Structure formats: structure tokens, C-alpha cells
Amino acid sequence: MPITTVKSAYLKGFADGAPFIVVIIPFASLFGLIATEAGLNVWEALTFSVVVIAGAAQFTALQLMQENAPTIVVLASALAVNLRMAMYSAALTPWIGSAPLWQRALAAYLTVDQSYVVSVAEYERRPEMSVPERMGYFFGAVTPIIPLWYGFTVVGAFLGARVPESWALDFAIPITFLAMIAPMFRTLAHVVAAFVAVVASLLTVLVPYSLGIILAGAAGMIAGAATEKWMERRHG
């Protein structure tokens, strides 16, 4: 495989991942800020981002820590929120599963919502891509995201309480996820799953320790799977 071809795939991935910079900067800054409010120092906040590298799970854990939830609830909730990574891995395996072990290990660590979304979309558009090209694209997509996640976690932690509430950095969280999930609504099953999860999350908002999120996610997955089976039977 010519190096120039892999390089082109890397640069294409970088370009496709770059728009997420707009939301990663405030998203990471907000995490750093909230981490210090929860009692973590700058290095603890950075370590949290480097080791866990999963924004939604990190925010969930911090929220529960601030509510003095039991440790087992914190761990279980963060794990439940992050279970989507297992689904991401399963979806990526047919495309990059034959790559060298060190590349797959690095990709496993760097699999985040943004790198998954843009990579799978590109692989489906261009199934003729070779495995080295796919890996190049994947690493390119994550290059503008991960360093900024680390860096602005530190910035947010340093700023701490000095950031005025009027800045409203928390806008980045819903915008990030809306930008990622909107292109994924390709079938009725996807729409039903999202709708049921939203309704269930509203109905379970009073469940303690934010466990309603887990219940809503389970309800959405069940509804989506049931809809997919119904569609298969209908068209079968």
C-alpha cells in the first residue's frame, strides 16, 4: 500500500474530524471546570480525561460524586453510559479487525463518539478502502479531537470557578451529541430507539443517582431492536 494513499486517507480523516473542534473545546473546558468543583485538582482532572477518555461517562461520574452517591453506583452508572463503546467496537471490527494488533489496541483506546461516527460513515461510503487506509482515516479523524480534550480539560481545571456562569459552556454537551446522532437516523428503528429513550428519560428524571439514564437507554435499545425485527418480518 503506497504511503501517499494512507497519508491521503489520514488527511481526509483529519478534515472530517476537524469540525468537532468547535464543541470539543468548550466541552473539555466544562469538564475541567466541573472536575475542580467536585474536588479534583488539575492533575487529577487531567488523569481522569487521559485514563477514561469518555466525556459522557466522565460527566456522569462527576455528577454522582457531587451527589455523594455510593462508589458502586458511580462505577456502574459510568460503565453503563460507556457501554456504547462495546457496540462501536463491534461495528468497527468488520472494517479494521484485520489490522495489526498494536493498531487495533490504539484504535480501541481512541474510539470515541466522534471518531466512530465519521469513520463508519466513511467506510460505508467507500467500502473499497484497504485496511491501512481505514486505519489512516481513523487516526486522522481522532487527531484534532483527543489532544484538545486533554489540553482544554487542563484549561478548564485551571480556570475553575473564575469562569462566569454567563458563559454557559454547557451548551457544548447537547450540541456535540446532536451533531453526532443526527446523521445516524437512517432507519425507522433508529428513530424509534431515540424517541423511546427520550420519553423514558423524561419519565424517570426523578429516579435517584441519575439511574433513569440507564433505564432510558435500555428502553431505547429494546424498542429499536423490536422495531428492526418487525421491519425484517414485514419485508421478509
- pLDDT tens for each residue of 146-202: 999 999 999 988 887 566 656 555 555 565 555 556 555 667 877 888 888 889 888
In this predicted structure, the answer to whether residue 209 has a pLDDT above a threshold of 80 is no
Residue 193 and residue 179 in one domain: no
Residue 190 and residue 223 in one domain: yes
Q: For residue 184, what pLDDT is reported?
A: 58
Domain count, the chain: 2
In this predicted structure, the answer to whether residue 132 has a pLDDT above a threshold of 90 is yes
Q: In angstroms, rounded to a whole number, what is the distance separating the alpha carbons of residues 207 and 189?
A: 27
Residue 106 and residue 12 in one domain: yes
Q: For residue 92, what pLDDT is reported?
A: 92
Q: In angstroms, rounded to a whole number, what is the distance separating the alpha carbons of residues 217 and 60?
A: 14
Of 148, 165, 184, which closes a domain?
184
In this predicted structure, the answer to whether residue 74 has a pLDDT above a threshold of 90 is no
Of 161, 184, 207, which closes a domain?
184
Q: For residue 107, what pLDDT is reported?
A: 93
Residue 57 CB neighbours (<10 A): 19
Q: Is 49 exposed, middle or buried, given 0-12, 13-18 or 19+ CB atoms closer than 10 A?
A: buried
Contact, 159 vs 34, CB < 8 A?
A: no
Residue 172 and residue 190 in one domain: no
Residue 134 and residue 38 in one domain: yes
Comparing 92-96, 133-137, 182-186, 229-233, which segment has the lowest mean pLDDT?
182-186
Q: Which residues constitute the domain of residue 140?
A: 3-184
Which of the two residues, 160 and 104, has the higher pLDDT score?
Answer: 104
Q: Quick one: DSSP state of residue 168?
A: -
Residue 236, C-alpha cell as written in the block: 421478509
**Mean per-residue pLDDT for 211-219?**
78
- Read off the amino acid at residue 109: Y
Q: In angstroms, rounded to a whole number, what is the distance separating the alpha carbons of residues 4 and 144?
A: 20
Residue 98 and residue 207 in one domain: no
Q: Which residue has the cell 418487525?
A: 230
Q: In angstroms, rounded to a whole number, what is the distance separating the alpha carbons of residues 9 and 125?
A: 13
Q: For residue 16, what pLDDT is reported?
A: 93
Closest CA to 87 of 160, 190, 15, 13: 190
Residue 130 and residue 196 in one domain: no
Q: Which residue has the cell 437516523?
A: 185
Residue 194 and residue 104 in one domain: no
Residue 172 and residue 219 in one domain: no
Which tens digit of pLDDT belongs to each residue from 9-67? 999 999 999 998 988 888 888 888 888 877 788 898 899 888 888 777 787 777 777 77
Q: For residue 8, what pLDDT is reported?
A: 93
In this predicted structure, the answer to whether residue 71 has a pLDDT above a threshold of 90 is no
Q: In angstroms, rounded to a whole number, what is the distance separating the alpha carbons of residues 34 and 58?
A: 10
H or E stretch at 10 = helix 3-17
**Mean per-residue pLDDT for 58-78?**
78
Closest CA to 106 of 139, 149, 69: 139
Give pTM, 2 decimals.
0.71
Q: In angstroms, rounded to a whole number, what is the distance separating the alpha carbons of residues 111 and 64?
A: 24
Rounded to whole angstroms, what are the CA distances from 158 to 46, 172, 177?
A: 11, 19, 26
Q: In angstroms, rounded to a whole number, what is the distance separating the alpha carbons of residues 20 and 132?
A: 24
